[in-house]
Amino acid sequence: MIKLIATDIDGTILKDDFTFSDGVKKCIKTLKENGIHVIIATGRMYSSTKIISNELGLEEPVISYQGALVKNTVGDEEVIYQKNVDVKTAKEIIAWAKENNIHINLYDKDILYVENDDYIVQRYSNERYTKYQIKPFDELELTQIHKLLAIDFNNPDKVTQWKNEMSAKYPNLHIVKSTPYFCEFSNCDATKGKALNYLCDLWGIKQEEVLCIGDQDNDLELLSAGGVKVAMGNGTQNLKNIADFVTDTVDNDGFVKAVNKFIW
């Protein structure tokens, strides 16, 4: 019996226009009423994820920053699990980005920093209702880096090149394309799967009691942690290859259809 569902947000339960369908909202409400845990596992920052969790009426901790930070969204907002990028590595990635004229979002202590107020960060923040601060990175202590995000909205092939190049250079990091335009850098233990496993061990939930669902390559570790692995119809081929079931697309309530198949 499934006791916990771990779901990605963007492209899984949240449509491309950044809205939830009524079907998804009703489905999550029904899951909650039946005592089934719903865990959000996302690359988004905690403050942005908390807003979504609250909108959906969830009270479970959220897995944010690809798994770098697991934190309660109610009460004292306790930090449950945290894995950061070390200062030396963060500085090296920043230097690489500057040398190659690559836009970097830097997340330190759950604050989004950029060095320039440009179209890229404006588009990113507007789509995700996220605030940001403009500050030279060399003025930051970099003591609690949850992740770094390299962005190119125009050339997904270039993002793939970054991912391949930097993965070879930094095998000790978790580097992943979370969308065609995003290359994310985080601690090697900052994955959705490891964060989920930590919560399941904490709560005494077995792997076979967990359904995981996502759409992008940053969900590979998430699905691998589940007893039932579901890829969205709009998901990457890599994710579909490891899935037990490929559901419909996000626009056609693929999440709801997967829940109906495996739970009710």
Contacts of 37 (CB under 8 A, 6+ apart): 3, 4, 5, 60, 203, 205
pLDDT band of residue 121 (cuts 50, 70, 90) is very high
Mean pLDDT of the chain: 96
**Element containing residue 108 per DSSP (H, E):** strand 103-108
Say which DSSP state 240 is in: H
Could you tell me the two tokens for 154? 């125009």
| Domains of the chain listed by start with CATH number | 4-82+190-262 (3.40.50.1000), 87-187 (3.30.1240.10)
Would you say 32 and 67 are in contact if contact means Cβ atoms under 8 Å apart?
A: no
Going across the sheet that includes 111-114, the strands are 133-134, 111-114, 103-108, 145-151, 182-187, 173-179
Say which DSSP state 60 is in: S
How far apart, in whole angstroms, are the C-alpha atoms of residue 174 and residue 191?
Answer: 7
Would you say 71 and 77 are in contact if contact means Cβ atoms under 8 Å apart?
A: yes
Query: pTM (2 decimals)?
Result: 0.92
How far apart, in whole angstroms, are the C-alpha atoms of residue 132 and residue 105?
Answer: 9
pLDDT at 129 over 80: no
Would you say 231 and 260 are in contact if contact means Cβ atoms under 8 Å apart?
A: no
pLDDT tens digit sequence for 194-220: 999 999 999 999 999 999 999 999 999
pLDDT tens digit sequence for 52-102: 999 999 999 999 999 999 999 999 999 999 999 999 999 999 999 999 999
Percent of the chain with pLDDT over 70: 100
Percent of the chain with pLDDT over 90: 96
Would you say 102 and 150 are in contact if contact means Cβ atoms under 8 Å apart?
A: yes
Could you tell me the two tokens for 52? 């979504």
Beta-carbon count within 10 A of 132 CB: 18
| 28-40 burial code (b ≥16 CB/10 A, e <16) | beebbeeebbbbb
**pLDDT score, position 127:** 84
